[in-house]
């Protein structure tokens, strides 16, 4: 049973959600969920040294890691052999799937985790991106449009190879969700948040701030790096309530389609253990018609009455579950 103090706090948070929904306060994209790499950011120069990550015998230079047409594979024993479309790209437009989504399909806060998604669902998303039915709410997110351009060059055989490969993988637990009112002061070097490292903090203010626990190895594209997602107090309780029971007549229960533990059902995708930043982006984009492909209409209806605070709560709860 929650403490009286926590119960009051959760009730207040729920009241804020209802007020925000009624006021239509979440119409603009939540910019915090869409970090954009600054145009003036200059990445550190490569000193030529060979980098390593814990548990791997392989080594790559920073230049090799930054080569976006080869998916560097630190743990080849941890997954089946990669199809060529996952491992290697074709210049100038096709980057391999494994560069951003990683050979293990774990992705990061900046993109989707593909591991363990139903094959039919992955296939459907590729079709929606290629047709223009699926896009992004923030046009500065250039990597999304580079992916769309690359998807349009794929052959049917390459699509089926990539779909079968990622659907066969299992997503490991890697996200720790922490309720807090403050968060280490952060900045965006390249599509993700990281602490400034000066010991200062800032109000979380209704956001989700998701950061790698080991930035150096995240930059190295180490698939075993974990993340901490800072979420507002009361998010988990509210998210669980919405997921299991819905919210009045505005929001149906998530478990009705996604399964009792949000583990996915048939070609309905699992949500458990996946990036809460990513999940907020998807909920917002369903609500505002930026995901309009096959099977999107039910989600558009389901999210129509959701406030941003409710999206945050559902995403936080889903991310806290075991994938």
The full set of domains in the chain, from first to last, is 59-320 (1.10.760.10)
Q: In the structure, what pLDDT confidence band is assigned to residue 72 with cuts at 50, 70 and 90?
A: very high
Q: In the structure, what pLDDT confidence band is assigned to residue 16 with cuts at 50, 70 and 90?
A: very low
Rounded to the nearest 10°, the torsion over CA 213, 218, 219, 223 is 170
Q: In the structure, what pLDDT confidence band is assigned to residue 196 with cuts at 50, 70 and 90?
A: very high
pLDDT over 90 (residue 7): no
Q: Burial letters for 94-103: b for 16+ Cβ neighbours within 10 Å, e otherwise?
A: bbbbbbbbbb
Q: In the structure, what pLDDT confidence band is assigned to residue 141 with cuts at 50, 70 and 90?
A: very high
pLDDT over 60 (residue 159): yes
Mean pLDDT score, 193-199:
96
pLDDT in tens, 25-60: 447 999 999 999 998 888 899 999 999 999 999 999
Nearest-angstrom CA–CA distance, 67 and 169: 24
Contact 179, 231 (CB under 8 A): yes
What pLDDT is stored for residue 8 in this prediction?
A: 40
What percent of the chain lies above the pLDDT cut of 90?
88
What pLDDT is stored for residue 293 in this prediction?
A: 86
Average pLDDT in the chain: 92
What pLDDT is stored for residue 17 in this prediction?
A: 44
What pLDDT is stored for residue 294 in this prediction?
A: 81
- Cis peptide bond N-terminal to 49, omega within 30: no
What percent of the chain lies above the pLDDT cut of 70?
92
What pLDDT is stored for residue 21 in this prediction?
A: 41
Q: Is 24 left (phi over 0), alpha (psi -120 to 50) or beta?
A: left
Give CB contacts under 8 A, 24+ apart, made by 124-128. Answer: 124/267, 124/293, 124/294, 124/295, 125/293, 126/151, 126/154, 126/159, 126/163, 127/293, 127/294, 128/291, 128/292, 128/293, 128/294, 128/296
**Kindly report the CA angle at 108 between 137 and 37, in degrees rounded to 5?**
55
Grouping H, G, I as helix, E, B as strand and the rest as coil, residue 297 is helix
Q: How far apart are the first and last CA of the chain?
A: 25
pLDDT over 60 (residue 10): no
Q: In the structure, what pLDDT confidence band is assigned to residue 248 with cuts at 50, 70 and 90?
A: confident
């Amino acid at each position: 049973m929650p403490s009286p103090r926590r119960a009051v706090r959760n009730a207040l948070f729920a009241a804020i959600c209802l007020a925000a929904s009624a006021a239509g306060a979440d119409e603009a994209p939540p910019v915090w969920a869409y970090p954009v790499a600054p145009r003036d950011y200059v990445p550190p120069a490569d000193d030529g040294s060979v980098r390593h990550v814990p548990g791997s015998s392989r080594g790559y230079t920073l230049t090799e890691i930054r080569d976006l047409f080869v998916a560097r594979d630190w743990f080849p024993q941890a997954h089946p052999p990669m199809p060529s479309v996952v491992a290697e790209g074709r210049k100038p437009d096709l980057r391999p799937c494994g560069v951003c989504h990683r050979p293990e399909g774990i992705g990061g806060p900046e993109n989707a985790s593909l591991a363990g998604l139903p094959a039919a669902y992955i296939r459907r998303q590729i079709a929606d991106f290629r047709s223009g039915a699926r896009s992004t709410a923030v046009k500065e997110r250039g990597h999304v449009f580079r992916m769309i351009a690359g998807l349009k060059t794929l052959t049917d055989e390459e699509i089926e190879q990539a779909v079968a490969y990622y659907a066969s993988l299992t997503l490991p637990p890697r996200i720790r969700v922490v309720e807090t009112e403050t968060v280490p002061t952060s900045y965006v070097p390249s599509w993700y948040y990281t602490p400034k490292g000066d010991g200062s903090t800032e109000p979380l203010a209704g956001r989700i701030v998701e950061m790698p626990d080991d930035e150096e190895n995240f930059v190295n594209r180490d698939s075993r790096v974990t993340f901490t997602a800072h979420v507002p107090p009361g998010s988990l309780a509210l998210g669980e309530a919405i997921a299991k029971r819905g919210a009045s007549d505005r929001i149906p229960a998530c478990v009705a389609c996604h399964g009792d533990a949000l583990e996915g059902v048939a070609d309905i995708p699992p949500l458990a253990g996946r990036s809460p930043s990513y999940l907020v982006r998807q909920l917002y984009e369903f609500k505002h018609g930026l995901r309009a492909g096959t099977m999107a209409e039910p989600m558009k209806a389901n999210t129509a009455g959701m406030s941003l605070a409710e999206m945050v709560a559902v995403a936080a709860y889903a991310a806290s579950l075991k994938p």
